[in-house]
Amino acid sequence: AKAQKGSRTVLFTAELENRNRAIKQTADDILRGLDDDAFMPFYQLQFDAKTLEISGVETLARWQHPEHGVLAPDRFLKIAEDIDVMWRIDRSLAEKACADFLRWRLEGLDVPRMSVNISARRLLDPQLLASFPTQSFPKGTFVFEMLESIFLDALDDEMSKAIDRIRKAGIAIEIDDFGTGHASVLGLTTLHPKRLKIDRALIAPLTRGERHRRLIAAIIEMGHALDIEIVAEGVETQAQIDLLRTMGCDVLQGYALARPMGTRDIEAFLRARLPA
Ligand code: C2E
Ligand code: CA
Ligand code: CA
Ligand code: CA
């Protein structure tokens, strides 16, 4: 039994070493990616639920990996945070996203809003606003999406000041992933966000039963009672689109309407919609 235990320890240590090596490898790759300017924004369109016109885009981080192609954040975000370089990725994305948004506005490509994801730890970063050159964008057209867990507790003084600065810069605040993890209804009154994004986990079962439907209806009603617009994310079927529209949801986002696209693809898409 002792020998068995011993060999299991050896196996375990070997596995751990393998995993550590893989993490180290990814960390090195990320640093090289930063040097090579390999992180870029993808854009997913959002649509006005009433008119089905484009109402905005969400910016999503992607890594153009030399061997593995275009990678989503689940492949790098956590490790980048652990080695404390996510701020460098964010900074490079912010610059590119703002430049793209400015260009679209100058070219008359119709994108009323652009939103970016802001992590909890960045909210109190004194450099946060400086990394987004949004001065030339009309008030409310640039949006910070923040996870609802940030607003779990009553806002402390430092957080309130950070939120004030964001508002004064003309940037709108949207609560992301509403309804998952932490139920933070308190944030809706203390923060008064412009929009609330219902998490995909609540949208997925929407057409599978009366109780799911009623839950979404109640969230929409609650939002509207507080003067907050409702965005549904992860909309994957026509049945969900139809139902959310009849229920008075304000904005729709999901694969059923548009997938995330790189700069060149979305610009081609937007140009094709311009009146001839
Ligand atoms: P999120 O903010 O909830 O973003 C929505 C995610 O759902 C995106 O995944 C998007 O590609 C995906 N998605 C959109 N429509 C559908 C659909 O119809 N069905 C399904 N199954 N998925 C859909 P992505 O791009 O992999 O991003 C994952 C998460 O990583 C984001 O979740 C966000 O929390 C975070 N993230 C992305 N970009 C950034 C960034 O630049 N900075 C920070 N801090 N976080 C980011
Ligand atoms: Ca988001
Ligand atoms: Ca979300
Ligand atoms: Ca989500």
Quick: pLDDT tens for 148-192.
Answer: 777 666 667 888 888 899 999 999 999 999 988 665 687 788 888
Pocket test for ligand 1, best of 59, 60, 76, 200 (most atoms within 8 A of CB): 60
Q: What is the pLDDT of residues 66-116, one digit of tens each?
A: 999 999 999 999 999 999 999 899 999 999 999 999 999 999 998 999 999
Q: For residue 174, which ligand has an atom nearest its CA?
A: 2
Considering the chain, what percentage of its residues have pLDDT values greater than 70? 92
Ion ligand 2: residues, Cβ under 5 Å: 117, 145, 176
Q: Which residues form ligand 1's pocket by a CB distance below 6 Å?
A: 44, 60-61, 72-74, 77, 90, 93, 117, 119, 176-177, 200, 233-236, 254-255, 260
Could you read off the pLDDT of 3-53 as tens digits, one per residue?
A: 455 566 676 788 888 888 988 999 999 999 999 999 999 999 999 999 999
Residue 1 pLDDT level (bands cut at 50, 70, 90): very low
The predicted structure's pLDDT at residue 170: 96
Query: How many other C-beta atoms are found inside a 10 Å radius of the C-beta of residue 43?
Result: 28
Orientation angle between helical segments 263-273 and 86-107, nearest 10 degrees: 20
pLDDT for the residue 192: 87
Give the distance from CA 7 to its chain's centroid.
Answer: 45
Residue closest by Cα to atom 41 of ligand 1: 61
In ligand 1, the atom with minimum distance to the C-alpha of 255 is: 18
| pLDDT tier at 2, thresholds 50, 70, 90 | very low
Burial class, 253, CB count within 10 angstroms (exposed 0-12 / middle 13-18 / buried 19+): buried
